[in-house]
Amino acid sequence: MNKKNLAIIGCSYTNHKDSNSLFNTYPALIAKHFPDYFVIDLSVPGGSNCTAYLRLKWYEERYNTKIDKVIFQITHLYRTFLHSKTLAYNMQLGNINLFEETYVKDNYFYSNGVLDNKNGMHFSLNSSDPKIKWIYKYFPWYFKKAKDLELGTTWKSHWETLQMINLIDRAYDTVFFHWHNRVKQDLDSFASKGNYIYAGCVEEWLGADYFETHGKAITYHFGAPEQHIIFEKLRLFV
């Protein structure tokens, strides 16, 4: 029987680099316990919700395959993806290397978590002016002509996330979950709820006090013990 492809979209909370838990993150545990799937970890530290569909379609076209199921870890709403106008014209999904390095272990496909630096960069700050100044001061030349610099805490980021949720939900068999309860509340208060398959919220699974005091350096990254808890919650939806 041919294995099905299960893709996981997330940010640093999902990626092994920030949890320091290679092969003990919930994507790796899903691969271990569900050998009938190829598990494709497309998480990116600092990743934004707005590139979720790009990552899925890139994988399908790059490797000429079809993704059968998606787990979407929704991240902070006020994140965006920057790329230069020149590179935007050249971003044909079939021939770019979205990730700098990719690896395989058994039925688990994962990357080093870094997008190719020629393609773009994710950002997350909630103030436009300081962020733009920071970009111009520290970033390579091809980000100085970024296509989109609307980085403030506006309605746009809410609607872009909801748009991405709707799009991926219709394109794939998708399970959604949140890391922070406040992200869930932001989305719930901004628009009516859809009929999505919703697994829950990590902050609620771990308990608010534990979530606040045990997240590494209060960045809310968790290691192997907490990743196992997350896996046990998500395995019910695989």
Residues ≥6 apart with Cβ < 8 Å to 180: 76, 201, 202, 203, 220
Residue 174 in this model has a pLDDT that exceeds 60:
yes
pLDDT digits (tens, 9 = 90+) for 47-59: 999 899 999 999 9
* pLDDT value of position 90: 60
Would you say residue 156 has pLDDT above 80?
A: no
- Note whether 27 and 89 are within 8 A (CB): no
pLDDT interval class at 68 (50, 70, 90): very high
In order of start, what are the domains of the chain with their CATH numbers?
Answer: 4-237 (3.40.50.1110)
Under 8 Å CB-to-CB from 29, ≥6 apart: which residues?
227, 228, 231
Q: How far is Cα 33 from Cα 14, in angstroms, rounded to an integer? A: 17
Confidence of residue 60 (pLDDT cuts 50, 70, 90): very high
For residues 39-54, give the mean pLDDT. 94
pTM: 0.87
| Of 72, 68, 71, 70, the residue nearest 2 (C-alpha) | 68
Mean confidence (pLDDT) of the chain: 84
pLDDT at position 100: 85
pLDDT the model gives residue 151: 46
pLDDT value at residue 152: 44
Residue 149 has pLDDT above 50, yes or no: no
pLDDT at position 163 over 70? yes
